[in-house]
C-alpha cells in the first residue's frame, strides 16, 4: 500500500521538510532502496550513503537537510523507521481455522479467528485467545493458556499448564515449561527434585528459535512484560525477568536468579543460581556472574567473574602485557643473580 510523506509524518506526529506528496510504498537500506522506499539516517557518519540513495524520503533528526530528499524530522530515526515498518509491511496473517490434520479436543476453548495449522496437537482444557496463530507441528499441553494475538511458529512446545499473555511471539523450536535441572544427591545417586511449579510469560514477549524456559520447581518462573529473548537461550526454574529486559543469544540463567527491569544481557552471558541483577544493569558479552552475586542497578559489568567495566578494562590491559612483564622480571632476576655472584 502506498502512502504519502505527509501521511507518514502525521502517523509519526512529525514535521516534514520537502515534498509532502512524495509517494512511499516500502522501506529498505540506503543501498537497496528504490525511489518510493523510505530510509533512515541516525548518525552523521552515514550521511553520504543516505544522500546517494535512490530513496526520496528520509527519516532524520530535526534540522537535517539533504539535497533532493524529503526529510521527515523525528527525534529517534531508527525507532521511527521501526514504527513505519509496522505500517508499510504488516504481517500476513493466515486464514483462520483449524487444519484437518490438527488434533483439538472438545474441552479446548479457542477464541475467534484462531489459526491452528497442520499436525498441531492441542490437549485437554487448553485456552487460546482470539486471533492467535499456532503453526504446524506445535504441541500445546493440557491446561495451557495462550492469550490474544499470539503467534507460535512451527514446532513450538508448550508443556502442561504454561501461561502466555497477549501478543506473545515464540519462534521455531522453543520449549516452554519443561522441567528444571534440579537434583539432590544422596544414597549414592541423584534424586530428582520435584518440578511442579508453573510458568508465566507476560504480554508482548518475543522468544527466539531453540530457546528453553523451564517451569518453576515449587514456585513460578516469570518472564515480564515486553521481554525480548534471543535464540538459544536457557532460562532455568524459578527465574524472574523484569519488564523490557533484553537477553542475547546463548545466554544461560540458572535457577532462582532475579533479573530486573530494562536490563541488557549480552551474548553468551552465564548467570549462576540465586543471583540478582538490578534494574538497568548491562552485562557485557560472555560475562560470568558467580552464584549469589548482586549486580547493582545501572552498573555495566564485563568479564568472568563479572566486574565493573572500568576495572575490567584496566585489568585486561595489564593481562595483555603479561609477556612483557614476564620478560622484565626475568631480566631483573638475572641482574640480581649477577650482583649476588659478584658479591659472593
For 84-122, the pLDDT digits (tens) are: 999 998 888 899 999 999 999 999 999 999 999 999 999
Q: Which three cell numbers stand for residue 94?
A: 493466515
CB atoms within 10 A of CB 321: 11
Q: Three-state DSSP class for 264?
A: strand
Q: What per-residue confidence (pLDDT) applies to 344?
A: 67
When pLDDT is averaged across residues 318-342 and rounded to a whole number, the result is 89
CA distances from residue 105 to 132, 145, 160 in whole angstroms, order as listed: 17, 15, 15
Given a cut of 70, whether residue 210 has pLDDT beyond it is yes
Task: Give the integer Cα–Cα distance in Å for 202 and 217.
Answer: 19
Task: Give the integer Cα–Cα distance in Å for 206 and 223.
Answer: 10
pLDDT mean across residues, the chain = 96
- Between residues 338 and 262, the one the model is more confident about: 262
**Banded pLDDT at 278 (limits 50, 70, 90):** very high
In Å, the largest CA–CA distance within the chain is 98
Task: Give the integer Cα–Cα distance in Å for 263 and 279.
Answer: 6
DSSP at 250: T
**Banded pLDDT at 341 (limits 50, 70, 90):** confident
Task: Give the integer Cα–Cα distance in Å for 203 and 77.
Answer: 26
Task: Give the integer Cα–Cα distance in Å for 177 and 251.
Answer: 18
| Of 170-179, 245-254, 320-329, minimum mean pLDDT range | 320-329
Q: What per-residue confidence (pLDDT) applies to 41?
A: 96
**Directed axis angle between helix 322-343 and helix 309-320, to 10°?**
50
**Banded pLDDT at 339 (limits 50, 70, 90):** confident
The DSSP result for 135-151, as a single string, is: -TT-EE-TT-EE-TT-E
Tell which residue, 318, 317, 295, has the closest CA to residue 307.
295
Tell me the per-residue pLDDT of 3-31, one tens digit each, with 9 for 90 and over. Answer: 999 999 999 999 999 999 999 999 999 99
Q: Among all chains, which residue has been given the C-alpha cell 549486580?
A: 295
Q: What per-residue confidence (pLDDT) applies to 1?
A: 80
When pLDDT is averaged across residues 292-303 and rounded to a whole number, the result is 96
Q: What per-residue confidence (pLDDT) applies to 255?
A: 96
Given a cut of 90, whether residue 159 has pLDDT beyond it is yes
Q: What per-residue confidence (pLDDT) applies to 91?
A: 86
When pLDDT is averaged across residues 281-286 and rounded to a whole number, the result is 97
Element (H, E) at 75: none
Do the Cβ atoms of 240 and 222 come closer than 8 Å? yes
Alpha carbons within 13 A on the beta-carbon side of 15:
8
Q: Which three cell numbers stand for residue 112?
A: 475467534
CB atoms within 10 A of CB 66: 18
Which own/partner pairs from 229-235 qualify as long-range (CB within 8 Å, at least 24 positions apart)? 229/205, 230/267, 231/171, 232/208, 233/207, 233/208, 235/211
Q: What per-residue confidence (pLDDT) applies to 337?
A: 87
155 dihedral zone (left: phi>0; alpha: psi -120 to 50; beta): left
Residue length, the chain? Answer: 344
Q: What per-residue confidence (pLDDT) applies to 236?
A: 98
Which are the catalytic amino acids? 237
Q: Which three cell numbers stand for residue 156?
A: 513450538
Amino acid at each position: 500500500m502506498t502512502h504519502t510523506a505527509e501521511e507518514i509524518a502525521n502517523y509519526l506526529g512529525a514535521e516534514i521538510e520537502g515534498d509532502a506528496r512524495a509517494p512511499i510504498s516500502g522501506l529498505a537500506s540506503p543501498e537497496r532502496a528504490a525511489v518510493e522506499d523510505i530510509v533512515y539516517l541516525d548518525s552523521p557518519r552515514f550521511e553520504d550513503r543516505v544522500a546517494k540513495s535512490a530513496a526520496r524520503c528520509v527519516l532524520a533528526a530535526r534540522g537535517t537537510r539533504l539535497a533532493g530528499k524529503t526529510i521527515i524530522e523525528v527525534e529517534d530515526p531508527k525507532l521511527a523507521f521501526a514504527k513505519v515498518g509496522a505500517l508499510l509491511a504488516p504481517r500476513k496473517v493466515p486464514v483462520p481455522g483449524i487444519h484437518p490434520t490438527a488434533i483439538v479436543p472438545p474441552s479446548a476453548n479457542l477464541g475467534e479467528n484462531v489459526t491452528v495449522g497442520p499436525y498441531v496437537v492441542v490437549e485437554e482444557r487448553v485456552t487460546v485467545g482470539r486471533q492467535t496463530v499456532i503453526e504446524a507441528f506445535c504441541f500445546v499441553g493440557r491446561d495451557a493458556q495462550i492469550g490474544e494475538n499470539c503467534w507460535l511458529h512451527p514446532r513450538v512446545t508448550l508443556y502442561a499448564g504454561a501461561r502466555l499473555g497477549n501478543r506473545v511471539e515464540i519462534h521455531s523450536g522453543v520449549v516452554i515449561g519443561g522441567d528444571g535441572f534440579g537434583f539432590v544427591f544422596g544414597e549414592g545417586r541423584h534424586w530428582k527434585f520435584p518440578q511442579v511449579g508453573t510458568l508465566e510469560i507476560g504480554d508482548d514477549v518475543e522468544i527466539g528459535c531453540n530457546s528453553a524456559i523451564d517451569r518453576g520447581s515449587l514456585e513460578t518462573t516469570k518472564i515480564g512484560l515486553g521481554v525480548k529473548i534471543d535464540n538459544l537461550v536457557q532460562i532455568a526454574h524459578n527465574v524472574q525477568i523484569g519488564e523490557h529486559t533484553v537477553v542475547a543469544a546463548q545466554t544461560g540463567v540458572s535457577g532462582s536468579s532475579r533479573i530486573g527491569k530494562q536490563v541488557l544481557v549480552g551474548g553468551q552471558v552465564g548467570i549462576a543460581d540465586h543471583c540478582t541483577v538490578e534494574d538497568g544493569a548491562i552485562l557485557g558479552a560472555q560475562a560470568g556472574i558467580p552464584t549469589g552475586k548482586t549486580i547493582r542497578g545501572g552498573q555495566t559489568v564485563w568479564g568472568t567473574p563479572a566486574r565493573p567495566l572500568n576495572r575490567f578494562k584496566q585489568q585486561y590491559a595489564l593481562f595483555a602485557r603479561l609477556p612483557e612483564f614476564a620478560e622484565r622480571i626475568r631480566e631483573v632476576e638475572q641482574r640480581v643473580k649477577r650482583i649476588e655472584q659478584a658479591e659472593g
